[in-house]
Amino acid sequence: MAVEFKRRWPNRARLHPCDEGAVDKVGAGLPGRVPEVSGGQDVSQTGPTAAPPPILIGAGGLGWKCERAIKDTVEWGDGWFPVVMSPAELARHLASMKELSARAGRDFAKIEVSMLFLQQPELQPQDPARAVDEYSRAGVHRMVLSPPALTPGRADAILEGLAKQYLG
């Protein structure tokens, strides 16, 4: 399965030796069969789209070390998905990722960065509208918010409130 997984996602062919087992597990968890690949093109359409899902490395933030996540993202990930870190801290880590990408011959511009904000109020930006601008300038492509529980009858109001906070 690892060979098929790497063949479907050729940019993940250079894995760290200890990641081979993880590739087996991820590959085994894919629904349906792994499509055949001819010349880098998927020729078997196994679902609504032949394009493979992006692999995001979800690690780092909240005071955790980021070096391994950055290295793995450059080596075989499509993007990085850290949890709650300041725009300045994120910018430092992305500068490191950009340098590693250049050394590896990887196009840094093709690595997507998503920032996850957890539900706890103390982990939310103090000024959400300003945070959108600051994280965007730091290099974030996507901000993922964790709203409070969406109860029937209140979900629309809660989501509209979040939209007003973050988008003005």
Amino acid, res. 66: C
* Residue 92, phi then psi, degrees to nearest 5: -65, -45
Question: Are 140 and 116 a contacting pair, CB within 8 Å?
Answer: no
Q: Would you state the structure tokens that stand for residue 159, as one six-digit string?
A: 């989501």
* Token pair of 57 as six digits: 């490395």
* pLDDT of 150: 85
Level-2 CATH architecture, domain 54-168: 3-Layer(aba) Sandwich (3.40)
Task: Walk along the chain (168 residues) and give the pLDDT tens digit of each residue.
Answer: 344 444 444 444 444 444 444 444 444 444 444 444 444 554 455 555 567 888 999 888 887 889 999 999 999 999 999 988 889 999 999 999 999 999 999 999 999 999 988 877 777 788 888 899 999 999 999 998 888 888 888 999 988 988 898 888
Report domain extents, the chain.
1-53, 54-168
Q: In sequence order, which ranges of 44-127 are alpha helices (DSSP H)?
A: 67-76, 87-104
Per-residue DSSP letter, 8: H
User: Measured between alpha carbons, how far is 44 from 49 in angstroms, rounded to an integer?
Assistant: 10
With a threshold of 0.95, does the pTM exceed it? no
**Which pLDDT belongs to residue 47?**
56
pLDDT attached to residue 60:
85
Alpha-carbon distance values, 80 to 4, 31, 48, 156, 165 (Å): 24, 23, 25, 30, 25
142: how many CB neighbours lie within 10 A of its CB? 13
What is the reported pLDDT for 50?
A: 66
